[in-house]
Structure 1
Amino acid sequence: MIINEPPKNTEVEQQILGALIKDPTHSNSRETIDSLCDDDFFGMAHRLIFNEIKTMSENKESIDLITLDNNLSKKSDQYGGFVYLADMNKNTTGNYNLPAYVAIVKKCSQLRKLAKILVDASDMINQGAEPVEITEIIDNELKDAAVSSSGAELRHINTVEGDWLDRLDERMKQGGACAGLSTGIDELDERINGIGEEYLVIVAGAPSMGKTLFCQTLAANIGVDQKKNVMFFSMEMSEIELYERFVSGVGNVPAKELRAARLDAQAFGRVEVALTSLRTSGIHITDQPKQSVGQIRAKVRRHKLKNPDLSAIFIDYLGLMKLGKADRHDIAIGNITRDLKELAKEVKVPIILCVQANRYKAPMRPNMSNLKDSSCIEADADLIMFVHRQEVLEPETLLKGVTELIIAKDRHSDGNGTVYMEKINGKFIPLNVEQVARMQHEEENRLNPVPAKRGM
């Protein structure tokens, strides 16, 4: 690849630094210090000078030729010396043109970053790197380059009024229906008011609690019953295993009967109904293992272009995703949840992510502390739900068949609480509240028996 002279404007950089030295307290100077970073400047000398000015400003130190030269001379001899600082201070045209100068330097910086991305991509191609790896790295670098720009200016709050009124009007036309995507579970929808289009939803649970099955229940409710477009990333089960679970849930056929192929005429009829429903559903699946955020992001973007009506994205599960490079495991996890939240906002489609929770002992119920690397996950998630079945921890419990969906965080609707469900033939269905209350009362008596009264 032919490398031309990198985009730069040395004279403009000198004008900026000279203006900052001459009047660092001017409003345009303060805005310039906040808007730029040292790597926006091309030369090492200019980077060193700007970085020292920024550091002195943040530390509330007085900035002039003498103090700046004194500080720089203690750290490096590559900044050009006192004479160079004095020349920039003398030749500057002042602070009033700083916003225009900042824009020029930012543009050159962005162009240099884009050129570097192209060079890096060319080097990886020549070295025989895999296309998926190259695409992922380029995608991440382009995102970082975009984030480093200042972005759009802030808007006055009243400019949002029209958009909000339109959304309110849509809600009123729905006649009180949930504002977001319906889960198909009435009590859950009532609590959380549906799933918002930019949500990152965490479905957590210890092993064998049923978090994957719960996600499949939601996917079937949305993709089969509501006929909406759904993506399901399965990194734990194969496509056939996943399909069989959907057949079991949609057709109301026990999974063990499907595995043993013990099907009577009635069961065959329900299987046929399930197959017909899945043929006309909006569910799209992949069982590619160990996928990275970059690979998922690329698939989602392509699918969204072909299917603008995409309504939900399910990922099973976080622990099986490919981690990016990071100093610590929790940082790598945080990068994934942050990127998934950004993806949900970009495509305006909720992402439902399965997360493995740490094991706990009865009679405890799971909470945020049971999430692995919980601080990162909790910060990025809009909605966190734990799937809990007491019979997994305590076989002698009287709460057999009861699944508790514990809403531990609801950022937008304050729907915290518990929804009770029953696991039947490959899906979860709501459980009668009165029945649950009776079982809970019996369980309480079992755990805390009333001592028998002694006779006289």
Structure 2
Amino acid sequence: MAENISYLKNEETERRGDANALPFRAAPQNVEAEQALIGAILINNDAYYRVSDFLKTEHFQEPIHRQIFKCASDMIRVGKKADPRTIKTFLREDDKIGDMTVAQYLARLAAEATTIINAADYGRLIHDLAVRRSLITIGEDMVNIAYDAPVDVPPSGQIEDAERRLFELAETGSYGGGFQEFSDAIQKAIELAGAAYERDGGLSGISTGIHNLDQRMGGLQKSDLIIVAGRPGMGKTSLATNIAFNIAHGYEADINPDGSHKALNGGVVGFFSLEMSADQLATRIISEQAEVSSSKIRRGEITEAEFVKLSHCSSEMQRIPLYIDETGGISIAQLAARARRLKRQRGLDVMVVDYIQLMQGSKRSGENRVQEVTEITTGLKALAKELDIPIIALSQLSRQVESRDDKRPQLSDLRESGSIEQDADVVLFVFREEYYIRNREPKPGTEEYLKWETDMAEAQGKAEVIIAKQRHGPTGTAKLGFQAEFTRFSDLAEDDHLPDRYG
């Protein structure tokens, strides 16, 4: 059967034939496997469901097979029968495959088809050959670009581009983007709603482990860039480490039909710590979770009971999927390459960057810091979409907050606020009034001191996470509890009823 199609390639090969020329190497393909799979689908539409999870139209090498598979897919998905009689009306009658018409070719595919038992095997073969063809294209592009690259283009840029394309190929089996049908987007939306129904707490996104925050945000949504900002001392890093630990600690995995893992609850977390070293960050998280002051840990002033708590906590932490990169001054291109590598090797469900102002842009941004931050935030948003994960990025606030009577941050307080505010899907401000009240303590015994004591008692142990922007929901404020000694955030209402986490 294959000779009706493959003769086109044979003619091309013969035309190139030359005693002195190198042998022509055709791209890897298997026309017979494509014919066998399509024939199986035409005689029994159930064969389609054996390959629909991983096989796409573009994986077929022959254009006519792409057309037939596309028509059959569309018809089967809406509950219609796909066979030679129903499909031929959607294809051009005057097209020829060898010496046959389209209708004759469809009839022959169905007549010579085998059972659907081997449909999945044929589908995987077609998919793998398509991936190999894509690898050849990437390899050829790498060679050509390496030969023709301008002097001012460093090899590291080509490596990062090649790694990005290889990652996309590893994730999807194809690359290049382009339009997708609205019906596919609808299907993804329904799957998202189903996942939210099955997930603990009924959240559409990944739970932060803080109920009051989840209520207002629905969890962390895939492909979102979430900015967490605050003045020094407000606890933005503490909030990020709390959320990162909660997500990694709650990780429960399930296996996809293709053998890969997905998170039922929680997730694998990648933490880029540009300010603190990995051991400093680990000490901070241990302090938060074991409720032992980090300053006492550093000075070695812990009791035996506290040491037992730390031991239990460290044993627990060694099992959770939390990965730390402590590279300082990392560029957006380097960060993206490492995030892709982590997702490919270990999986990646949430990423944290601490913090934006310590990252570097490319040389083309020059001395313009606003332009550099714009490149960084745009890159982070693009990476969140590419990896299909939420990215939490921390940011500093400008000093103009301190000049106001009401120290609660506003969007205009973001440093280089135009790009950060524009690219972010969610902007969270961490605010603790206790910090400012404590710093303006009056002289004891005065009337002002009595008022200060009252204000201090009211604000102590409390924090606000102000949702200043949210594309998917309303803005507002989440009231949280804050244990300053352990730099730990928690739900206010439940804080008094929580038992010791370790002990």
* TM-score normalised by the chain length of structure 1: 0.63
The residue number in structure 1 matching 2:146 is 118
Contact 2:275 2:358 in 1 (8 A): yes
Q: CA 1:161 to 1:272, structure 2 compared with 1: closer, same or farther past 3 Å?
A: same
Distance 1:187 1:352 in 2: 18
Q: CA 1:120 to 1:383, structure 2 compared with 1: closer, same or farther past 3 Å?
A: farther
The residue number in structure 1 matching 2:473 is 413
The residue number in structure 1 matching 2:365 is 326
Q: CA 1:391 to 1:339, structure 2 compared with 1: closer, same or farther past 3 Å?
A: same
Contact 1:114 1:142 in 2 (8 A): no
Contact 2:427 2:468 in 1 (8 A): yes
Counterpart residue type for residue 426 of structure 2: L
- Offset, 1:225: 3.8
Q: How does 1:367-406 map to 2 (within 5 A)?
A: 367-395=410-438, 396=441, 397-398=455-456, 399-406=459-466
Distance 2:304 2:245 in 1: 24
The residue number in structure 1 matching 2:328 is 289
Indicate the SS of the match to 1:363: coil
Q: CA 1:116 to 1:160, structure 2 compared with 1: closer, same or farther past 3 Å?
A: same
**Residue 365 of structure 2 corresponds to residue 341 of structure 1:** no
Indicate the SS of the match to 1:290: coil
Q: How does 1:31-430 map to 2 (within 5 A)?
A: 117-119=145-147, 121=149, 123=151, 132=156, 135-136=159-160, 152-153=178-179, 155=181, 157-174=182-199, 177-226=202-251, 228-308=267-347, 310-324=348-362, 325-326=364-365, 328-359=368-399, 360-361=401-402, 362-395=405-438, 396=441, 397-398=455-456, 399-424=459-484, 425-430=486-491
The residue number in structure 1 matching 2:15 is none
Number of residue pairs matched by the alignment: 315
Identity value in percent: 30
The residue number in structure 1 matching 2:111 is none
User: For residues 377-433 of structure 1, what are the alpha-carbon distances to aligned partners after superposition, in whole Å with 9 as ceiling and x for unaligned?
Assistant: 111111110111223333245213322111111111224323322134132122239
Contact 1:405 1:419 in 2 (8 A): yes
Counterpart residue type for residue 386 of structure 2: E
- Offset, 1:273: 1.1
Distance 1:270 1:140 in 2: 43
Indicate the SS of the match to 1:354: strand
Contact 1:382 1:410 in 2 (8 A): yes
Q: CA 1:121 to 1:251, structure 2 compared with 1: closer, same or farther past 3 Å?
A: farther
Distance 1:282 1:139 in 2: 23
User: For residues 263-304 of structure 1, what are the alpha-carbon distances to aligned partners after superposition, in whole Å with 9 as ceiling and x for unaligned?
Assistant: 112101110111111111111102111000111111011111
- Offset, 1:249: 1.2
Distance 1:133 1:164 in 2: 35
- Offset, 1:113: 9.2
Q: CA 1:142 to 1:389, structure 2 compared with 1: closer, same or farther past 3 Å?
A: same
In the alignment, structure 1 segments of 5+ residues that lack a partner are 1-109, 144-148, 436-456
* TM-score normalised by the chain length of structure 2: 0.57
**Alpha carbon RMSD of aligned pairs, Å?**
3.2
